[in-house]
Structure 1
Amino acid sequence: MRLRTSKAGSHTAFTRGESLIEVMLAVVLTAVTALGLIAAQLWMIRDARAAAAREHAALVADALVEAMHGASRSSAALVQWRTRAGYLLPQGEASVSGSGDRTSVARVTWHTLAGASRSGEVIDMPPPCGDVAVPAGTACVVLAFAE
């Protein structure tokens, strides 16, 4: 005894299943692409914030150097820029120290943002912050100048 099956009926069922698989693959591909774009945007935002922190630190260090010309180490301008370092940078600190032979060093340190690469997590270790080693999670800008 032979069973008769309609070729048209089985072809329709197969076509419907194939269409659903194509739609599912298109949705998965769109979702993966969207996640990739979101990850790239988040990476760029994090790096832009880190660059802004470095820019603020360089501004404060340069202002410290300018304030040191013709002023004592306890002048009001130096105190003001040390205070601004704390406002502009996360846990920012600014200092000026003499390194001998009428040269000094302006140093600004701050804690890096969460998710940013730290000193122990990069391929090339960053140079020390002047004569002070940079602890993990801390970044710095150093400017040497003649008094």
Structure 2
Amino acid sequence: MLGVALMAVTALGVIAGQLWTAREARAMAMREQAAWIADSVAEAMRTPASADTAATQWNTRATSVLPHGVASIEEGAGVAVARVTWTSVRDLPANGEVIDKPESCGGADVPTGTSCVALAFTK
């Protein structure tokens, strides 16, 4: 009886670890896609003639690849920021637990439940 209980607890631990790994792999894939889109927006902005068309194209790509994805460009003080935001589904932490998430995204506050990648560049 003790052996069966020990096997059940061990199996539940392995299953929980696998679920956590799958969630984190999905989140990493989304961050990778967002970084790729932000980099592509920054590269497209190097050619001023096609900047607006490229920004619209990459915003459409962000919407299709990421959940509620939005690609935007903010300019100021000689530095531009390509920012990609999307809705992230995260487990809410229990009281006292810490989630390793930055407070802001390139100087802009993002709402709870939203992830962001920001890439600063100069023209």
TM-score class, shorter-chain normalisation, is 0.7 to 0.9
Normalised by the length of structure 1, the TM-score is 0.74
* Alpha-carbon distance in structure 2 between the residues aligned to 1:109 and 1:72: 25
- What fraction of aligned residue pairs are identical, expressed as a percent? 52
CA-CA distance at 1:46 after TM superposition? 0.5
Normalised by the length of structure 2, the TM-score is 0.87
Structure showing greater radius of gyration is: 1
For structure 2, the 5+ residue unaligned runs are: none
1:21-40 correspondence to structure 2 within 5 Å: 24-40=1-17
Q: Identify which of structures 1 and 2 has the higher relative contact order when contacts are C-alpha pairs closer than 8 Å and 6+ apart.
A: 2
For structure 1, the 5+ residue unaligned runs are: 1-23
How many pairs does the alignment contain?
A: 120
1:62-77 correspondence to structure 2 within 5 Å: 62-72=39-49, 75-77=52-54
The equivalent residue for 1:113 is 89
CA-CA distance at 1:135 after TM superposition? 1.3
Of the three residues 40, 55, 62, the one matched with 1:78 is 55
Of the three residues 81, 85, 95, the one matched with 2:72 is 95
